[in-house]
Structure 1
């Protein structure tokens, strides 16, 4: 297992795309508090906007960092097929389950570290502009930040599973962006049509929509689309289950299919 971990760590950091994607993701997330700080001046921030700035604009849609870490997750498996390196990889590491486990562990560790680093950098910028961050380690801000880290991690795992499932990069990229930005949005919109109101109960179980509950700051308003929404951790569980199903299917097929 140690050989598989060392291999995956070396493979990850010998790709220039890893540095570029992490760097751009950090910069995009950092741009939100930086631009806001320049524009706001001495204005005070409420808790909601504090969470938005720390999370790099996560509450305005897909978090910037999650998108870039999801792409790296896709590359961690899809690149092996795209560039034909999967054959020599399996020659050196024939235990396929160990290889996939190593990819998951290495990418999970890197994703959590990069996400925490992003929060630290954003917090540093906010301290430079406002001098303090009120309620950083208190409710309701702290659970939202923990949820943000988990959301980015699960998003990356979805990408990693899709890259392995489709054995390539393009199809996985299409699905990971098409599903949250178009498909789930369309289903949620259709639920407002009276003839399609039977879709309402299903909206809260859409995986990316449910996962976004992890980052919500105020869960006191639990009604959306006419029905009760999932709690923070229930939504996270739905998103995690979605990632687990994709990864389990990809893992099973990887063990059965030829390289």
Structure 2
């Protein structure tokens, strides 16, 4: 098993994908943190007050600043998860991988462990960018940089978990759709367009809001920020959101393992 894990890590490190994605994750974290730190205020402006938007606490401002780029971060990690298996099908290396690791479930397990490790790595890179840039701007504006350190630190640590879980979701999608390009387009389209629109539509019916909070993006927001961005109280707690994401990741990995065990490859 150790050899299989090392092989998966080596596959990721021997291409330009890993450092290219690292730069993208760093940039996403830094740029979104700069934007949010520049515009967020504890007291909403008159227009926002007229819309009923509540005042933000220092903790909410800091959390939103440091995690605002996470949506780009987890989509990038999902793409990495897709490419981890999708590139094997695309370049016909899956046959060699399965010959080297005959137990197919063991191959998937090695990919899972490698992706979780890279999720932690990319999470740390993301936090370097977001906290470094965001804290600088908040300090310049005279806002609190690290309010309620314990709660804020929990949100930052959970970034590592979230990115790793989205990488596993991507892995399952990459097995489900073996065409790498199609899998990436479907994954990004669902994450950025289909799911947010579906969440808005579902929320319009009486029972929809209770269902929409279990969608992956809303569960992710619950994990990282711990409050609803629209000021509503109908959102999962951070630990419930984490369990929902773990459930999605477990289902996708299970689907990937099932299909890999039964699919013929050439």
Q: Distance between the aligned counterparts of 1:172 and 1:220, measured in 2?
A: 30
> Structure 1 residues 134, 201: closer, same or farther in 2, change over 3 A?
closer
Equivalent residue in structure 1 for 2:182, among 171, 178, 200: 171
Q: Deviation of residue 72 (structure 1)?
A: 1.0
The separation in 1 between residues aligned to 2:110 and 2:118, in whole angstroms, is 12
Matched with 2:224 is: 215
- 1:65 paired residue number: 73
Q: Which stretch has the larger CA shift, 90-99 or 70-79?
A: 90-99
In structure 2, the CA distance between the partners of 1:248 and 1:32, relative to structure 1 (3 Å rule), is: same
C-alpha distance after superposition, 1:21-70 (max 9, x if no partner) = 22112122122334667x68xxxx93323223322534xxxx22212121
Which among 53, 58, 72 is matched to residue 46 of structure 1? 58
Number of the residue aligned with 1:85: 93
Q: Residue 197 of structure 1 aligns with which residue? A: 206
CA distance in 1, matches of 2:68, 2:197: 25
Alpha-carbon distance, 1:92 to partner: 2.0
Residue correspondence of structure 1 range 133-144 to structure 2 within 5 A: 133-135=145-147, 137-139=149-151, 141-144=152-155
Cross-structure match for 2:44: none
Q: 1:116 aligns with which of 124, 142, 148?
A: 124
Partner of 1:247: 253
| Deviation string, structure 1 residues 129-187 (Cα, Å, up to 9, x no partner) | 52883236322x22322333222221111111111222232232233223333333233
What runs of 5+ residues in structure 2 fail to find an aligned partner? 40-56
User: Are the aligned partners of 2:63 and 2:225 in contact in 1 as well (CA < 8 Å)?
Assistant: no
Q: Partner of 2:149: helix, strand, or coil?
A: coil
> What SS does the corresponding residue of 2:10 show, helix, strand or coil?
helix
- Aligned residues, how many? 245
What is the match of residue 160 of structure 1? 171
Q: How does 1:16-35 map to 2 (within 5 A)?
A: 16-34=16-34
TM-score, length basis structure 2: 0.80
What value does the CA root-mean-square deviation take over the aligned residues?
A: 2.8
Give me the whole-angstrom Cα distance separating, in 1, the residues matched to 2:228 and 2:150: 15
TM-aligned CA distance change 1:15 to 1:253, over 3 Å: same
Native 8 Å contact 1:187 1:199 kept in 2: no
In structure 2, C-alpha distance between the alignment counterparts of 1:204 and 1:179, rounded to whole Å: 16
